[in-house]
Amino acid sequence: MTPDEPFTVSTLTHELRGVIGATFGDVFVRGEISQARRVASGHVYLTLKDAGAVLPAVIWRSAAARLRVAPEDGMEVLARGGIDVYPPHGRYQLIIRQLEAVGAGALQRAFEKLRARLEAEGLFATERKQPLPVLPRTVALVTSRTGAAVRDLVRVLHQRHPGLRLVVVPTRVQGAGAAQEIAHALRVADTLAGADVIVVARGGGSLEDLWCFNEELVARAIAACTTPVVSAVGHETDVTIADLVADVRAATPSHAGELVAPMRDDLLRALDREGQRLARRLRARVDAAWQRVEALGERPVLKSPRALLARWRACLGHDAVRLRAAAPAHRLARLRQRTDDVARRLRVTAPRVVTSRRQRLDVLHGKLEALSPLAVMARGWSLVTDENGRLVRTVKGLAPGAKLLTRFGDGGEAESRVEAVRPPPEQEP
């Protein structure tokens, strides 16, 4: 290129993009994650860094769904992918296709972080765990069809309860994408008609091998199951997030079979023991009832009913004599006679009393009428009140201009205003 024929920005950027892609191809990069964020589209954007540099990176949604570990700030990882140039920003970035945590320490930190978060949500709480059925008829097994776990489970279940129905929901239990398959298999098992319990199982392995059972996707699928779930992952010393969320944790797949299916012979012996205990309780209740019957038979009412009836007859006769002596009929006759006498006296005296009281009332009414202000006003007098309704008895307190109200004996009223005030003449001593 010459000054007369320069690169455009776009041309140079695309040239660099081609050179970088052809030069580096598929690369592995080790570094620490920072600024990790998952956007609504499902893509994950992050930065890989070490002591001397930083490298922008992106994980497209399809690759992010297959990750074995969720990218977290501070996690040391080994990323695999290709270098690309993003023309709109003019920067290069790593397109990550695979991501692995470096060392058991990083996985353990991721485990503890997820464990604390799910525990805070209550997914490990005892009160949300479901009890196992006493005698299940159908068991759904979520495990690898070819692994040792399914063979151990099937062997133990058939030994302990030959009539048990087993349904295997196959899934991968290790590697990229295993968590998604396990979660899907759990949902399928939970919808199986007649499934009484679900066992999710895998044989032993390293922390990396068992990591799919530590993923949040599997934990939430277990928590969402309405069917009781038994987790039998790894050996007794292996504890996964799936173990903590499940309703029951089994140390091994074989132990899960022992928890789920009771031994048929043990059931028969237990039924025999319960039958004997029930028979003993029935005999005890029958004996107690018979003793009560015998005790009732010793009571006088049942042992000598004729003598008891004779005593009752004698008591009734004694009461009849007392009742006749009390002569209630004579007492009622005397009371009726007294009532009739009182009624006759009332009929005679009541009119006289009413007449006397009416005459007395007429006299009092006449006196009240004579003293009534209305009667006085009817004889030519009137009442004068001021504008506040107070009675005016004298000219004292009146002033020119005051308003007065005069009430007459016929009920009429007249308003007036004081023109002048003349006090009464002084009386000679």
Number of domains in the chain: 4
Tokens of 377: 């006003």
Same domain for 245 and 296?
A: no
Same domain for 73 and 194?
A: no
In a domain, 106, yes or no: no
Q: What confidence tens digit (pLDDT) does each residue in 83-93 have?
A: 888 888 878 89
Same domain for 222 and 161?
A: yes
Same domain for 49 and 86?
A: yes
Whether 158 shows a pLDDT value over 80: the answer reads yes
Q: Which domain holds residue 286?
A: 272-300
Q: What is the mean pLDDT of residues 199-210?
A: 84
Q: What is the mean pLDDT of residues 23-49?
A: 90
Same domain for 276 and 197?
A: no
Same domain for 234 and 293?
A: no
Same domain for 40 and 146?
A: no
**Confidence at 338, pLDDT banded by 50, 70, 90:** confident
Same domain for 143 and 253?
A: yes
> Among 200, 225, 199, 224, which Cα is nearest to 212's?
200
Same domain for 162 and 94?
A: no
Same domain for 233 and 116?
A: yes
**Confidence at 231, pLDDT banded by 50, 70, 90:** very high
Same domain for 85 and 119?
A: no
For the whole model, what pTM was predicted?
0.49
